[in-house]
Structure 1
Amino acid sequence: MDAYLEEELYDLITYCIQNSSASDYSIKEDRIKEIGRELFADGGVDALENMYFSIEHRVREEISEDAKPYRFLWNDISNEWNH
């Protein structure tokens, strides 16, 4: 399941990076938040850290952009996640 979520999260974040003024931007952000809640429910903060680590590197490698600004979308999931 994590592989599917990673692919979806990668697609959503790259879409948001490349289309910041798109009409469906907030829908994409909402799904990013939902994925974070799913990951947290399955594996806690470690699951969030592991997934985002992978995503940050993929985004940097594949589209030469920074995914770190989107980490804040998961801030309301746990007190331990505060970016």
Structure 2
Amino acid sequence: MDFMLEEEMIDLITFCLQNPDSPQVAEKKARIVEIGNELFADGGVDAFENMFFALENRIKEEIGKDPRPFRALWNGHTEQWKY
């Protein structure tokens, strides 16, 4: 399941980074929040860290943009995750 979520997250964040003015960005961000809820329920902050490590490396390599601002979409689950 994590692999499928990782691929979906890459697609969502890549879209948002490449199309920041698209009306679909809000919908994509809402799905990123949903995925965060699933990840946190399954593995806590470690799941967040693992996911974003993979996302950051792959997205930076593939499109040359930084996905780190999207980490803030998962704020509020725990004091350990503040971005």
TM-score by length of 1: 0.96
Percent identity between matched residues is: 54
The one-letter amino acid paired with 2:54 is S
Residue in structure 1 matched with residue 5 of structure 2 by the alignment: 5
Q: For 2:78, what is the secondary structure of its paired residue? A: coil
Taking the aligned partners of 2:10 and 2:75, their CA distance within structure 1 comes to 18
Q: For 1:81, what is the secondary structure of its paired residue? A: coil
Aligned-residue RMSD, C-alpha: 0.7
**Greater Cα shift, 68-77 or 51-60:** 68-77
Alignment of 1:20-35 (within 5 A): 20-35=20-35
Unaligned segments of structure 2, at least 5 residues: none
Q: Does 1:51 align with 2:67?
A: no
Aligned length: 83
* Superposed displacement of residue 76, structure 1: 1.8
Unaligned segments of structure 1, at least 5 residues: none
